[in-house]
């Protein structure tokens, strides 16, 4: 999963990302987790279309890729535009859009490409019981670090 770990140089990965963005309108970056640091993934390329990049945390690579692909495709086709505070309610999972406060600290490749023009929305997902991570009875095993500030109406518990 780590292209640089597999021997590619920074320049090779950057060029590959640029080619994917040119071809598909975006690409995804998936970051493996480690003890105490859950995995995360994000888009790169939505900035070019005037939309914030998308970030998900706490999902394995396959689930993160699926979620990012679904929502990036919706953005690029004009079906959806994510803004802070948007809640999408689904049968199996709901998603809340949270503005990422310091995207440059998390979306490293996107920041390298777009600099300060880049902004990001974190897609915070519910557990199987429909609970967001800030709910008092949320599953503590589902680590989903938040990279933004919740509106006061949502509370943190």
One pLDDT digit (tens) per residue for the chain, 157 residues:
567 667 788 888 889 999 999 999 999 999 988 888 899 999 999 999 999 999 999 999 999 999 999 999 999 999 988 888 888 887 778 899 999 999 999 999 899 889 888 999 999 998 888 888 888 888 777 778 899 888 766 655 4
Does residue 135 lie within any of the structural domains? no
Check if the beta carbon of residue 55 is closer than 8 Å to that of residue 64.
Answer: no
Rounded to whole angstroms, how far apart are CA atoms 109 and 39? 16
pTM for this one? 0.90
Phi, psi of 155 (to 5 degrees): 60, 170
Residues 140-155: tens digit of each pLDDT? 777 788 998 887 666 5
Tell me, what's the pLDDT at 157? 46
Does residue 137 lie within any of the structural domains? no
Does residue 25 lie within any of the structural domains? yes
Does residue 4 lie within any of the structural domains? no
Phi, psi of 111 (to 5 degrees): -65, -40
Residue 97: domain span: 10-125
Phi, psi of 13 (to 5 degrees): -65, -45
Domains contained in the chain, number: 1
Does residue 48 lie within any of the structural domains? yes
CA distances 80 to 17, 77, 113, 140, Å, are: 24, 8, 24, 30
Does residue 147 lie within any of the structural domains? no
CA distances 62 to 1, 56, 116, Å, are: 11, 12, 29
Residues 85-98: tens digit of each pLDDT? 888 887 778 899 99
Q: Where are the beta strands (DSSP E) in the chain?
A: 27-31, 40-44, 53-57, 87-88, 95-99, 120-125
């Amino acid at each position: 999963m780590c292209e640089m770990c597999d021997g590619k140089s920074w320049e090779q990965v950057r060029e590959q990302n640029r080619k994917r963005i040119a071809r598909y309108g975006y690409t995804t970056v998936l970051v493996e987790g480690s003890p105490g640091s859950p995995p995360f993934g994000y888009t790169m390329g939505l900035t070019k279309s005037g939309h914030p990049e998308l970030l998900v945390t706490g999902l394995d690579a396959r689930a993160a890729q699926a979620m990012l692909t679904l929502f990036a495709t919706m953005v690029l086709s004009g079906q959806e535009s994510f803004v802070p505070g948007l809640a999408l309610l689904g049968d199996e999972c709901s998603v809340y859009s949270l503005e990422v406060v310091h995207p440059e600290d998390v979306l490293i490749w996107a920041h390298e490409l777009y600099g300060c023009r880049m902004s990001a929305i974190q897609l915070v997902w519910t557990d199987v019981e429909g609970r967001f991570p800030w709910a008092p009875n949320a599953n503590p095993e589902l680590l989903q670090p938040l990279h933004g500030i919740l509106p006061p109406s949502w509370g943190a518990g």
